[in-house]
A and B are shown apart, each in its own frame.
Chain A
């Protein structure tokens, strides 16, 4: 992307377009415009005597960025140059008359270069746009396919405990028996069991109760044939419990949460 603006003379392309119009009116206008362009281009008149100081040259500014589009986290190089400028700013910050700079914005950015020339001459400005796109999602981890998560979700479920107890209810034993089959078929699975307590009771005692809840499930799975090296346990105590008002809510929080470690 390269944009150049010099002074305020109309761009030549527009004038040429106007030339193609054959109406006399347009011809007249073209002549007038050509006269203006001529004046603007400062075709030499007869040298005046004595010689006045040469009129100040208008500033020019050029900026480009390479490459013009990057992914988030990558960087690009801004290169700019100016002529006849007294002060130069890039994004409002003073810069040298010409130079380059490495940028790594997190979103698409328009870089604006402004060059101010001598008093009485117009400012020159130039823009360069850097497009930033989100990086593509990382490839799924090679060790674990989505199928594992699906199989785990089908075969392994959380279990629930009675109030202040850590021994397994009969339905929890059925749930863990099914879980043991699923886990045994996948010796590469690493399982996390987190023992949770409801928000009643005391913080420290509930860490111990959650530890025992997690261990009870681990011991059951190991007896059912699961390799103990596949299972990590940890108590959450009541640290992850909701602020409950009734037994249905408390019951949800008295659990072992089983998950597949990635």
Chain B
């Protein structure tokens, strides 16, 4: 037998590793809707009126627009230090070549102006192809709202989402979406809501006991959550439209960790109603047509529908089945049960990506009494069972939840010392803290 020369073997090994890491990147990029980043220049919008509200509203607008585009995962933002000194406020003031050539070298430029008149803020925004001086305009939009910082932010979100939709493969942006989460800053754990960037935080529930696990319906009209009563946990329902609680059936035992199907017709949660053992149940959206999905010994919790098909449920099962909790998948009729995680450590809190390909979850790989280690967020390609670790700090990260565009994940982390809400791109980059008051946990990303 011929002996392979050592350098050749080493080269082969290198190639295999290179291929493996390339394929790992492939599924992460495909699964999280990431293309090659587009170089985008966004000069500050020009103040187009002398009204004293113009400057402060323009500052809010410019900050929000930049953050939205920078957060989007679609662009490489060209640093403002390369921009020409003359800020264009209208197409007539823009020299396309200046932006397409070095040093700016942007592929695209978004620009415009903001003025205030008669209590209204007016914004004109354009998106130009900086490499196509002949026919540069891709987008031209005009907005008018009441002249308040909230509306200045809203206009920036809307314009950012237009740009992201045009340049990000036709997937709607998430700048206008809301997050739902639990905060104890009122003295009790209650359901709160905020914009995706942490602005506009406000309390929804007033249970004065414990509210957990908020999950918004796919039409953003209702938030289901678990609430502790004097004798049990019950699924509770808050109407975002009505601004108050609406009814949902009570069941015996503890009922918690609710989930919606993406078509809004089905509902799932964990309940001990039958025999005191926490199992997965499914109902219709109003709590009728109850069906038991699991009947194994030990806690079965945290169901989540495959949002692409609604034909599968991922959930967490522990105790009798595997001792430490692991993540499983079954068909929506309860058949075809598969363990997804590999029996290592403590795996909980699955969230299914909008395209149905990936599961995000929290994993304590070295879990045990006295064991060192951290609980981190991972994503797994369901078809291949390959996984990638997204957080790498020594604390507890939990409750990942996908954004509707599949490019972002919101999660909770205590890396600063207390539980707070963080967002990141779904490949683990661009991690940023978005809550700071009190303790905040269990985020859930609303729909577009």
Contact = CB atoms under 8 A, between A and B. Distances in A.
A234 B254 contact: yes
Contact of B442 (A203, A212, A218): A203
A106 B277 CA distance: 50
Interface in A188-216: 192, 201-205, 207-209, 211-212, 214-215
A219 B276 CA distance: 9
Contacts of A247: 369-370
A204 B324 contact: no
Given A166-B319, A234-B232, A203 B212 contact: yes
Contacts of A211: 253-254, 272, 276-278, 299
B257 A204 contact: yes
Nearest to A162: B369
Nearest to A166: B319
Nearest to B231: A232
A239 interface: yes
B302 interface: yes
Interface residues of A, number: 27
A234 B253 CA distance: 7
Interface string B407-434: 0000000000000000000000000000
Interface in B176-216: 189, 210, 212-213
Contacts of A209: 299, 318-319
B362 A235 contact: no
A234 B325 CA distance: 21
A202 B299 contact: no
A149 interface: no
A164 interface: yes
A233 interface: yes
Interface in A144-180: 163-166
Given A201-B346, A209-B299, A239 B254 contact: no
A208 B321 CA distance: 14
Given A207-B226, A212-B299, A202 B272 contact: no
B114 interface: no
Given A164-B323, A234-B254, A204 B231 contact: no
Contacts of A208: 256-257, 270, 278, 299-301, 318
B319 A234 contact: no
B233 interface: yes
Contacts of B254: 207, 211, 233-235
B350 to A, nearest CB: 10
A234 B299 contact: no
B316 A204 contact: yes
A235 B398 contact: no
A128 B72 CA distance: 72
A214 B278 CA distance: 11
Contacts of A215: 272, 275-277
Contact of A164 (B189, B210, B324): B324
A200 to B, nearest CB: 8
B249 to A, nearest CB: 18
A202 B377 CA distance: 13
Interface string B220-259: 0000001010011100000000000000000001101100
Given A204-B213, A239-B210, A212 B277 contact: yes
A196 B432 CA distance: 33
A166 to B, nearest CB: 6
Interface string A228-247: 00001111110100000001
Interface in B304-354: 316, 318-319, 323-325, 346, 348-349
A205 B318 contact: yes
A203 B369 contact: no
A202 B350 CA distance: 12
B276 A235 contact: no
B268 interface: no
Nearest to A209: B299
B370 A205 contact: no
A219 B253 CA distance: 14
A205 B299 contact: yes
Contacts of A166: 298-299, 319
Nearest to A212: B299
B362 A212 contact: no
A201 B213 CA distance: 15
A204 B302 contact: yes
A239 B316 contact: no
B441 interface: yes
Contact of B319 (A212, A218, A232, A236): A212
B253 to A, nearest CB: 7
A8 B346 CA distance: 87
A166 B299 CA distance: 10
A233 B276 contact: yes
Contacts of B212: 203-204, 207, 237, 239
B251 to A, nearest CB: 13
Given A218-B276, A234-B231, A205 B253 contact: no
B276 A202 contact: no
B233 A204 contact: no
B256 A207 contact: yes
Interface string B287-309: 00000000000111110000000
Nearest to B442: A203
Nearest to B370: A247
Contacts of B399: 202-203
Nearest to B213: A204
30 contacts: A163-B368, A166-B298, A166-B319, A202-B349, A203-B213, A204-B213, A204-B301, A204-B316, A205-B299, A207-B301, A208-B256, A208-B270, A208-B278, A208-B299, A208-B300, A208-B301, A208-B318, A209-B299, A211-B277, A212-B277, A212-B298, A212-B319, A214-B276, A215-B275, A218-B276, A219-B276, A233-B254, A234-B228, A234-B233, A239-B212
5 nearest A-B pairs in the assembled complex, by CB-CB distance:
A208-B299, A215-B276, A208-B278, A202-B348, A208-B301
Given A164-B324, A234-B228, 8 more contacts: A166-B298, A201-B346, A202-B349, A204-B316, A212-B272, A234-B231, A234-B233, A236-B228
